[in-house]
Amino acid sequence: MVQRGSLKLLCGLAFIASCVSGQWLNYPTPGIPRLPDGKPNLAAPVPKAADGKPDLSGVWRIALGPYTLNTTNDLKPGDVQPWAEALAEQRRENLGKDSPAAHCLPFGPLFTFDPINPQKIVQTPNLIVILGEQLMYRQIFLDGRSLPADPNPDFMGYSVGHWEGDTLVVTTAGYNDRTWLGRGYPNTESLRTVERFHRGDFGHLEIAETFDDPGAYTRPWTVKVTGNLMPDSDLLEYVCNENNKDLPHLIGKASDLKGVEVAPEILAKYAGVYAGTLPSGLVVRFEIFPSGSELWASLNGGAKRLLTALSNTKFVLPQLEFLEENGEIVALQYSDVGANARLPRVRENR
């Protein structure tokens, strides 16, 4: 699994030979406005395509946040139909081993919410193609066609788009029901999404996506994320099937893990903020909240999740381990699929 970030890390830490192999990622993107010091001017005005529309073309990385591969973060219990809630619970109980990601299947409606793999928008007047680093793509037809009445359900769905002022509005139907919307929450074939893409300035793309699935939820909801332009770079091929070693390790059930109880006074020591950068270059920030005999975590401002204790210092999910030095908790070791980092404790207000 060669990830962009780990390659960069190799460049920094290991032999020069490893570094050279990735040099083509540094090819300067043509047409980028520059500041006097040569750095890209990401606040410059939005470029226009030949047809006068805003040009969304470029390599974009979605900012990490509460919606990272999880569009259901803001849903409340009444928003989810009982069968869908039960299915999500069952999938979490199985620790996500049936997730499409574990089987190297396309993310489908979550394609936009993958912050690890940058996306490249290729815009032509009649067709926009969005390429994913995982060597998958989606097409958005802009030639005026309507959505098909009865589309053949597939992973990426069938997308049509049009411009409303400077905003590209994309409607997608025809998703299959094999993808997850995050945390095990399902979608049915009734799912429709409406995405609004707006390039705020040269370096930033705002995406608001509305999910409407009357087969599983009681109301539509909207999730907003921001894409940051990756200048002078490109996609680095990543093929999930090439080296999928996750599956044999994804065993057990969440309820099996519930054996360990940690004393409240130990949990209290973990309260605080831990932040750092993953090998992929993503900045992550965990807030840890002890509550009696429970420990809760929030990632980058997302909803609080209950952690399960494996020992006095180790918790899941994700795998977190509190590191003690000289009697003080100094860092949080974070381990997830393709991500492993020591996140130092943030000494706030001290």
Check binding of 263 to another protein (CB under 8 A). Answer: no
In single-letter form, the type of residue at position 46 comes to V
DSSP assigned state of 146: P
Q: Where in 157-176 is the site for another protein (CB under 8 A)?
A: 158
- Going across the sheet that includes 319-325, the strands are 305-306, 294-299, 283-291, 272-277, 339-346, 328-336, 319-325, 314-316, 308-309
Convert residues 321-340 into a mask of x (bound to another protein by CB under 8 A) and - (unbound): --------------------
Q: CA–CA separation, 56 vs 227, rounded Å? A: 11
Check binding of 52 to another protein (CB under 8 A). Answer: no
Minimum CB distance to another protein, residue 234 (Å): 8
N-term to C-term CA, the chain: 40
Check binding of 131 to another protein (CB under 8 A). Answer: yes
Check binding of 20 to another protein (CB under 8 A). Answer: yes
Task: Tell me the window of 75-83, 124-132, 276-284, 304-312 that interacts with another protein (CB under 8 A).
Answer: 124-132
Q: CA–CA separation, 291 vs 304, rounded Å? A: 12
Written as six digits, the tokens of 94 are 């199985």
Minimum CB distance to another protein, residue 276 (Å): 26
Check binding of 96 to another protein (CB under 8 A). Answer: no
Cis peptide before 33 (omega within 30 of 0): no
Check binding of 291 to another protein (CB under 8 A). Answer: no
Minimum CB distance to another protein, residue 139 (Å): 7
Work out which of 12, 37, 38, 50 binds another protein, going by CB under 8 A: 50
Task: Tell me the window of 140-148, 190-198, 265-273, 305-313 that interacts with another protein (CB under 8 A).
Answer: 140-148
Nearest of 114, 117, 119, 128 to residue 54 by alpha carbon: 128
How many C-beta atoms lie closer than 10 Å to residue 166's C-beta? 13
Work out which of 136, 284, 288, 332 binds another protein, going by CB under 8 A: 136
Q: Where in 176-215 is the site for another protein (CB under 8 A)?
A: 178
Check binding of 255 to another protein (CB under 8 A). Answer: no
CB-based contacts of 229, cutoff 8 Å, min separation 6 = 40, 42, 58, 59, 60, 202, 203, 204, 205
Written as six digits, the tokens of 38 are 């040569």
Binding site for another protein (CB under 8 A): 2, 7, 20-24, 27, 30, 50, 103-106, 122-124, 126-127, 129, 131, 135-137, 139, 143, 145, 148-152, 154-156, 158, 178, 234-237, 239, 241-242
